[in-house]
């Protein structure tokens, strides 16, 4: 790093202007007149002391020698570690004598010592100005100032200066009224500049809060960097905003110059992130931003005695960096990238400002109001253009968002139309399916009615013939009973189908009458005994009658289905236990078999239509309608059916029906 700094100093030395080596002439006398004037202390003679070892007396002697330089304008000597000596001769008019203020126009000057040269030629310390010394007055200005009492006639002053910034000896004499008037005009301009920066900063902060995009924070970073540069360079910050802090803590503006490099490059890289430019271009721009961060760190940690090396390096890098940004942006502009246009405009203004500052620091042009304020105008221009770019970017993002929303809305409408069409098609299909189902149900009902009619007549004939037939042998009587039981069983199956159709169609109409429930149970048991050999029932029936109001045919079917179900799943010869328990309000009929039983998880589902327990548990053929019809019939009568595990194994069904009042008569 030290080698790089020395090379940068060498560049400046090669490009520095050659000052004339003429001897001191009468032209070095500055005429001081007028009570409201500003007197710029040129012409004067200057001397560079590379070692910094000259005493004031030796320096005063050498200023009369051939190595002294006569200045007729304020020029910068660049970033040099030398000590600058200068002699100033004043010719004060009698009416101008009195209180004046010596102002060091460059706020970033470390230390300037002022000596009063007596009549005997002896330099006597008079005052000190600069960042590294306490202020000599309580007047807050952007300058370093000291009060002088100028007598009429000729006065001679010797000044010694050393700084880590550019060596520019810009000394003026002002009366207090003139000083305050000029300060008022200057700070009106600076207030305008800071107002713009503040407005843009809060706008960027609000946009970041709204969009959560980092580029707005980078823009704020850039605004802070620019503001810091000019607050320090023109003295607004240490002179007015933080004078007490400035007396105890020195902040070098070159840190903010490096910060500006980092912020500007980072903003350009992020702004071009979506542009159609090669990746290497973005890498170059981000590298410039990283270099700016590195310069910031260098300016922050470098020792004070070597500060001018870091400042010089920063100053040397600024112009090549700006030129490199201009080149890569021109490449994007050549490729027709719209995002490169405002950046190109920004770089042109920025490079113009940098060039002015650069050639001023080299001493090619004098330091004056234009060369000092011109770069700040370029800074304002960059802030405004960057703000315009952000607004343009925000507008583009908003337009893209609206376009996406419109596309999403169109897609939603298309999807809605597709869904509506699908719903319409599905509705039509369901309507057609319901029509087909209704037609199928109608045909099914018609078929069931036809089967019922066609079957009932032959069955009635068979039953009548069997009943009227007189067997010649006793064995034939048993066969006739089996025929009649089979006929009744078949008629029960037909009735089951008819009842199921009634339930489906919601047409179950009960013909209630007063019934004795035990008689119905014994009739159903007798019919099953007659239909098969070895069927046994163990009856536990009350001694007296058990009455209920119910549809006799429906209850008969329900009882037959439950008993038949028990017969199916009981082992051959195992008894079916039937019990009846009656109370004043309810009749409970229990039917227990000795079969494999029904798993608990299926005890509710067996009452669903067409559901049958697992084949591994209850292996028997059937349509799965019997228990469903039983529950439906009982529910129509206000009763219930429940399945549990029988003691000793098997299934136990409880059928519950409302009991008929003791005095109730038969009814419908």
pLDDT in tens, 546-587: 999 998 888 988 898 899 888 888 888 889 999 999 998 999
Using CA atoms, how far apart are residues 634 and 640, in angstroms rounded to an integer? 6
**Is the CB of residue 420 less than 8 Å from the CB of residue 428?**
no
Q: Is the pLDDT of residue 375 over 60?
A: yes
Report the 10 Å Cβ neighbour count for 652: 19
Q: Is the pLDDT of residue 186 over 70?
A: yes
Instruction: Give the 3-state secondary structure of 293-349.
Output: HHHHHHHHHCCHHHHHHHHHHHHHHHHHHHHHHHHHHHHHHHCCCCCHHHHHHHHHH
- Give whichever of 233-247, 269-283, 609-623 has the largest mean pLDDT: 269-283
Contacts for 285 with CB less than 8 Å, ≥ 6 apart = 265, 268, 269, 272, 325, 328
pLDDT in tens, 390-422: 887 777 778 888 888 899 899 999 999 999 999
| pLDDT the model gives residue 228 | 85
Q: Is the pLDDT of residue 473 over 90?
A: no
Q: Is the pLDDT of residue 195 over 70?
A: yes
| pLDDT the model gives residue 651 | 92
Cα Rg, the chain, nearest whole Å: 57
Q: Is the pLDDT of residue 616 over 80?
A: no
**Is the CB of residue 636 less than 8 Å from the CB of residue 508?**
yes
**Cα dihedral 610/611/613/614 (nearest 10):** 90
| pLDDT the model gives residue 564 | 86
Which of 345, 389, 343 minimizes the C-alpha distance to 207?
389
Q: Is the pLDDT of residue 341 over 60?
A: yes
Reported confidence tier of residue 149, pLDDT bands at 50, 70, 90: very high
Q: Is the pLDDT of residue 499 over 70?
A: no
Using CA atoms, how far apart are residues 318 and 355, in angstroms rounded to an integer? 10
Comparing 48-52, 105-109, 380-384, 530-534, which segment has the lowest mean pLDDT?
530-534
* pTM (global) more than 0.75: no
Q: Is the pLDDT of residue 269 over 90?
A: no
Q: Is the pLDDT of residue 3 over 70?
A: no
| Torsional sign, CA 635, 638, 644, 650 | negative
Contacts for 138 with CB less than 8 Å, ≥ 6 apart = none
| pLDDT the model gives residue 656 | 94
pLDDT in tens, 157-180: 999 999 888 888 889 999 988 888
User: What average pLDDT is seen over the chain?
Assistant: 80
Q: Which two tokens stand for residue 202?
A: 């809060």
Q: Is the pLDDT of residue 623 over 60?
A: no
Using CA atoms, how far apart are residues 258 and 291, in angstroms rounded to an integer? 8
Comparing 21-30, 112-121, 365-374, 586-595, which segment has the lowest mean pLDDT?
21-30
pLDDT in tens, 444-468: 666 666 665 556 557 666 766 666 6
Q: Which residues pair with 125 in a beta bridge?
A: 115
**Percentage of residues of the chain with pLDDT beyond 70:** 80
Q: Is the pLDDT of residue 369 over 70?
A: no
What's the rounded mean pLDDT across residues 523-531? 81
Q: Which two tokens stand for residue 31?
A: 């005429």
What's the rounded mean pLDDT across residues 425-444? 83
Q: Which residues pair with 640 in a beta bridge?
A: 656
| pLDDT the model gives residue 340 | 75
Using CA atoms, how far apart are residues 528 and 546, in angstroms rounded to an integer? 22
Comparing 11-15, 233-237, 477-481, which segment has the lowest mean pLDDT?
11-15
> Which string of DSSP letters, residue by residue, matches 584-643?
SSEEEEEEE--SS---GGGTTGGGSTT----TTTS-----S-HHHHHHHHHHHTT-EEEE
Reported confidence tier of residue 123, pLDDT bands at 50, 70, 90: very high
Q: Is the peptide bond before 442 cis (omega within 30 degrees of 0)?
A: no
What's the rounded mean pLDDT across residues 349-374? 72
Q: Is the pLDDT of residue 70 over 60?
A: yes
**Percentage of residues of the chain with pLDDT beyond 90:** 22
Q: Which residue has the higher pLDDT, 3 or 485?
A: 485
What's the rounded mean pLDDT across residues 432-454? 71
């Amino acid at each position: 790093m030290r080698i790089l700094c020395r090379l940068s100093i060498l560049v400046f030395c090669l490009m520095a202007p050659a000052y004339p080596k003429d001897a001191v002439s009468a032209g070095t006398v500055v005429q001081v007149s007028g009570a409201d004037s500003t007197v710029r202390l040129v012409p004067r003679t200057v001397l560079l002391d590379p070692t910094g070892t000259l005493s004031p007396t030796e320096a005063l002697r050498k200023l009369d020698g051939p190595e002294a330089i006569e200045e007729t304008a304020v020029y910068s000597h660049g970033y040099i570690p030398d000590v600058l000596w200068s002699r100033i001769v004043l010719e004060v008019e009698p009416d101008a004598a009195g209180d004046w203020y010596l102002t060091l126009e460059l706020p970033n000057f470390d230390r300037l010592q002022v000596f009063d040269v007596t009549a005997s030629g002896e330099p006597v310390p008079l005052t000190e100005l600069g960042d590294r010394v306490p202020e000599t007055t309580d007047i807050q200005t952007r300058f370093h100032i000291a009060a002088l009492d100028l007598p009429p006639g000729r006065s001679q002053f010797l000044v010694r200066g050393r700084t880590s910034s550019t060596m520019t000896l810009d000394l003026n004499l002002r009366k207090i009224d003139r000083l305050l008037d000029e300060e008022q005009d200057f700070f009106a301009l600076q207030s305008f500049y800071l107002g713009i920066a503040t407005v843009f900063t809060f706008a960027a902060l609000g946009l970041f809060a709204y969009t959560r995009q980092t580029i707005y924070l980078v823009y704020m970073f850039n605004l802070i960097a620019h503001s810091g540069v000019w607050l320090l360079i023109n003295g607004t910050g240490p002179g007015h905003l933080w004078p007490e802090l400035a007396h105890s803590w020195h902040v070098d503006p070159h840190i903010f110059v490096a910060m500006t490099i980092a912020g500007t490059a980072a903003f350009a890289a992020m702004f071009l992130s979506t542009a159609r430019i090669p990746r290497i271009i973005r890498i170059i721009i981000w590298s410039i931003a990283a270099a700016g961060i590195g310069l910031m760190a260098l300016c922050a940690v470098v020792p004070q005695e070597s500060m001018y090396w870091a400042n010089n390096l920063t100053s040397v890098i600024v112009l090549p960096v700006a030129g490199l940004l201009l080149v890569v942006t021109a490449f994007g502009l050549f490729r027709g990238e719209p995002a490169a246009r405002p950046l190109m405009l920004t770089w042109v203004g920025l490079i113009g400002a940098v060039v002015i500052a650069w050639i001023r620091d080299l001493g090619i042009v004098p330091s004056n109001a234009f060369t000092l304020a011109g770069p700040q105008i370029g800074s304002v221009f960059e802030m405004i253009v960057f703000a315009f770019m952000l607004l343009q970017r925000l507008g583009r993002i908003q337009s893209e968002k609206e376009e996406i929303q419109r596309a999403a809305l169109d897609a939603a409408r298309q999807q809605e139309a597709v869904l509506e069409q699908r719903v319409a098609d599905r509705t039509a299909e369901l309507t057609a399916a319901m029509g087909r189902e209704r037609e199928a149900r109608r045909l099914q009902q018609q078929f069931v009615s036809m089967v019922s009619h066609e079957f009932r007549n032959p069955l009635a004939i068979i039953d009548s013939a069997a009943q009227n037939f007189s067997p010649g042998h006793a064995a034939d009587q048993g066969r006739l009973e089996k025929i009649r039981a089979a006929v009744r069983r078949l008629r029960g199956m037909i009735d089951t189908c008819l009842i199921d159709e009634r339930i489906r169609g919601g047409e179950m109409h009960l013909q209630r009458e007063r019934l004795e429930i035990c008689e119905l149970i014994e009739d159903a048991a007798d019919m099953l005994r007659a239909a098969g050999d070895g069927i046994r029932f163990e009856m536990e029936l009350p001694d007296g009658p058990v009455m209920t109001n119910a549809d006799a045919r429906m209850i008969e079917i329900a009882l037959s289905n439950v008993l038949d179900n028990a017969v199916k799943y009981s082992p051959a010869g195992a008894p079916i236990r039937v019990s009846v328990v009656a109370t004043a309000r309810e009749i409970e009929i229990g039917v227990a078999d000795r079969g494999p039983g029904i798993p608990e998880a299926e005890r509710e589902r067996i009452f669903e239509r067409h559901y049958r327990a697992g084949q591994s548990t209850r292996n028997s053929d059937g349509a799965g309608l019997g228990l469903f019809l039983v529950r439906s019939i009982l529910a129509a009568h206000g009763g219930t059916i429940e399945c549990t595990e029988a003691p000793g194994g098997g299934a136990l069904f409880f059928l519950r029906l409302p009991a008929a009042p003791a005095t109730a008569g038969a009814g419908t």
